[in-house]
C-alpha cells in the first residue's frame, strides 16, 4: 500500500508493549517480503543480530523459535506479531479490505490493503508520536518506487486475481491441542468494501 522509499523497519511484539526484536526488510515488492535481517535483540540473544532470512515470515519464525519457543503451542487468534510504525495519510477505510494468509501461526487469515496501493507513507524505526502501528502484512501491497500509479493498480489487481496476494512463508503443522482449541473459538463476521465476507478470530489491540 506504499511506495517503498524509507527503510522498512519491522518490530516484533509478543504480548508485551516492548518489542521482542527489530527486523529490517531489505526488499519488498507488492505482496511479498524479501530478504529480512535481524538488527536489534536483547543482549541475551545477540547471536541473532545481523542474521538474514529469505523473507519476513522466516525471520519471524527464526526469532520466535529462539526467543519464544512456546509460540508453537499458541492457540490465540491473532496472526500479527510483526508491526510497522507509519506516518502519513492512511485512511482506516482503505486498510484490510482483502483477505490473505500470513504464513504465520498456522497460516491464519490476515488482510491486505489494495485500496491503499498508491498511498505514500514514511516508516519510522521507532515511534515518535506522529504516526501509528500497523501490522506489516496489512500494509501490503508495497509498490516499488518509480512505478506509475495506474501501472501499480493494474499489477495489484492482476496479482490478486491470480491469488498471489498471500505471503510466502511455509505452513507449520498445527499441534493437536491447537486444533482442538480452534474449534472452540468464536469468530467475528467482517464485511469488506467489495461485498465479500470473512470470518476471523478477534484481533488484539495495536501495540503501544
pLDDT digits (tens, 9 = 90+) for 160-170: 888 877 755 44
Choose the weakest-confidence range: 4-8, 95-99, 111-115. 95-99
Residue 180 has pLDDT above 60, yes or no: no
Quote the pLDDT of residue 41.
97
Quote the pLDDT of residue 102.
54
Question: Can you list the positions of beta strands (E) in the chain?
Answer: 2-4, 8-12, 21-25, 28-29, 32-33, 36-40, 52-53, 82-87, 98-101, 109-112, 122-124, 132-135, 142-144, 188-191, 197-200
* pTM of structure: 0.73
Residue 42 has pLDDT above 90, yes or no: yes
Quote the pLDDT of residue 178.
36
Quote the pLDDT of residue 116.
85
What are the tens digits of pLDDT across the range 11-20? 998 878 899 9
Residue 132 has pLDDT above 80, yes or no: yes
Q: Looking at per-residue confidence, does 74 or 181 come out higher?
A: 74
User: Please, how many CA atoms are within 13 Å of residue 92, restricted to the half-sphere of its CB?
Assistant: 2
| pLDDT confidence band for 154 (50 / 70 / 90) | very high
| pLDDT confidence band for 5 (50 / 70 / 90) | low
Q: Which of 83, 86, 81 is nearest to 65 (CA)?
A: 81
Quote the pLDDT of residue 4.
59
Secondary structure string (H, E, C) spanning 49-80: CCCEECCHHHHHHHHHHHHCHHHHHCCCCCCC
Amino acid at each position: 500500500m506504499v511506495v517503498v522509499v524509507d527503510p522498512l523497519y519491522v518490530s516484533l511484539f509478543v504480548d508485551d508493549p516492548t518489542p521482542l526484536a527489530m527486523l529490517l526488510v531489505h526488499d519488498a515488492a507488492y505482496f511479498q517480503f524479501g530478504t529480512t535481517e535481524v538488527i536489534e535483540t536483547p543482549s541475551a540473544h545477540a547471536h541473532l543480530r545481523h542474521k538474514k532470512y529469505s523473507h519476513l515470515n522466516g525471520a519471524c519464525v527464526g526469532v520466535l523459535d529462539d526467543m519464544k519457543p512456546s509460540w508453537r503451542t499458541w492457540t490465540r487468534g491473532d496472526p500479527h506479531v510483526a508491526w510497522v510504525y507509519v506516518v502519513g495519510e492512511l485512511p482506516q477505510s482503505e486498510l484490510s479490505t482483502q483477505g490473505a494468509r500470513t504464513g504465520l501461526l498456522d497460516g491464519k487469515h490476515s488482510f491486505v490493503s489494495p485500496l491503499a496501493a498508491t498511498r505514500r507513507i514514511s516508516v519510522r524505526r521507532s515511534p515518535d508520536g506522529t504516526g501509528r502501528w500497523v501490522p506489516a502484512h496489512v500494509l501490503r501491497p508495497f509498490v516499488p518506487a518509480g512505478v506509475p500509479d495506474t501501472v501499480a493498480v493494474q499489477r495489484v489487481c492482476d496479482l490478486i486475481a491470480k491469488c498471489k496476494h498471500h505471503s510466502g512463508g511455509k505452513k507449520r503443522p498445527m499441534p493437536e491441542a491447537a486444533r482442538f482449541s480452534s474449534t472452540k473459538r468464536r469468530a467475528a463476521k467482517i464485511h469488506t468494501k467489495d461485498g465479500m465476507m470473512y470470518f476471523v478470530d478477534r484481533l488484539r489491540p495495536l501495540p503501544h
